[in-house]
A and B are shown apart, each in its own frame.
Chain A
Amino acid sequence: MTMNWTALAYLLVAYWPYLAGAALIGLMVGWRSFTPPNT
């Protein structure tokens, strides 16, 4: 299967606010999931 780069670029441009939102949620989840080691 070959990648349809045009379609991917279109999705990135069209949905970038949603992608940014998802990334932000991920950022918060990742940030909160870190537990400092006991050293």
Chain B
Amino acid sequence: MTNLAHIAETALLLLSAYLFGCIVGYGLRRVLHAARGTRQTATAPVPVAPAVVEPRRVPSAAARLAARVEDLPPSLPKLRPATTSPDGVVVAAVAGVPREGRPMQLTVPRGGAADNLKQIEGIGPKIEASLYALGIFHLGQIAGWSKADIAWVDAQLAFKGRILRERWVEQARELSRAVA
């Protein structure tokens, strides 16, 4: 075997090892991410009949969301029970809205005072300010996020799955429960 052939063979072997590592690393993270996603789905509320949306009590943001769902093909929308915050405001009435789904956004905090979102582990002053800018002021809002809502906020703030990774929604639910 010539020296050149030996070098080429070694380089090829190293390259193969690198590519193998790339594929395994990507696949591993994908599988782990999917497993985490499945756990999220398992804890999600069970879909029920659409009768839960009462236009009389629904605030404008939720009403807009519901109106958008009505325009969708019948196979797409899935409804779940409305999540009601302690002060009786419907937080999120509709879930399972495809990618354009947005969380409920407020123009001003309810009662004039926003919650301290930094109570959620993973949210610092900068992220809190970004969430306020998106119209998310209360723990109850975060607690009511569906998967589509999470995806929307994730995309807005370029978080790459941080919301799910740091379990913001579960944390918000626990904190809301503690407050209530």
With A15-B10, A39-B151 known to touch, is A20 a contact of B25 (CB < 8 Å)?
A: no
Q: Which residues of A contact B99 (CB under 8 A)?
A: 38-39
Is there a chain A Cβ closer than 8 Å to B1's Cβ?
Answer: yes
CA distance A25 to B19 in the complex (A): 9
Chain B at the A interface: SS class: helix
A-B pair count, CB < 8 Å, reads 86
Interface residues of A in 1-39 (CB under 8 A from B): 4, 7-8, 11-12, 15, 18-20, 22-36, 38-39
Which stretch (B136-144, B154-162, B171-179) binds chain A? B154-162
Interface residues on B, range: 20 to 34
CA distance A18 to B136 in the complex (A): 50
Is there a chain A Cβ closer than 8 Å to B124's Cβ?
Answer: no
CA distance A31 to B15 in the complex (A): 17
- A35's nearest neighbour on chain B, judged by CB, is B160
Q: Which residues of A contact B151 (CB under 8 A)?
A: 38-39
Q: Which residues of B contact A38 (CB under 8 A)?
A: 99, 151, 154-155
Chain A at the B interface: SS class: helix
Contact between chains at A12 and B154 (CB < 8 Å) = no
> CB within 8 A of B18: which of A23, A32, A34?
A23
Contact between chains at A39 and B23 (CB < 8 Å) = no
14 contacts between A and B (CB under 8 A): A7-B1, A8-B13, A22-B15, A23-B18, A26-B18, A28-B21, A28-B25, A29-B25, A31-B25, A31-B26, A31-B29, A33-B22, A34-B26, A34-B33
